[in-house]
Amino acid sequence: MLARRREYLYLGGLLSSGVSMLLWLHFASSIFGGSTALFKMEIYLGLLVFVGYMVVDTQDIIEKAHLGDLDYVKHALTLFTDFVAVFVRILII
């Protein structure tokens, strides 16, 4: 919230690539047999990606509020899904 406007919105593409990489890692571990190192890498990378999504979504909500979009239910659900993804990974760790 203290960052300049729209500074973190451009991380969305990088984070989407991270989610894609997580998907392919999961497929590879299910096909070739997973190891504990691959599982830990998947968990920590997922935690990093979804914390990044929390930052990007918070910045996006602030930017939309400046433009007049005050749909607080949609914004709360967006942040809730990010919090759930982070919470699940913290529980696994």
Question: So where are the chain's domains?
Answer: 9-92
> Distance of alpha carbon 11 from its chain centroid, rounded?
10
Residues 44-84 have pLDDT tens digits of: 999 999 999 999 999 889 888 888 988 999 999 999 999 99
Per DSSP, helices labelled H in the chain are 12-32, 36-67, 72-92
Kindly state the tokens that stand for 16: 């989407």
Coil, strand or helix: which one is 2?
coil
Please give the helix or strand (H or E) that residue 88 lies within, else none.
Answer: helix 72-92
Write down the pTM of the prediction. Answer: 0.81
The most distant pair of C-alpha atoms in the chain lies apart, rounded to whole Å, by: 50
What's the pLDDT tens digit per position in 9-48?
788 888 999 999 989 988 888 888 878 888 888 899 999 9
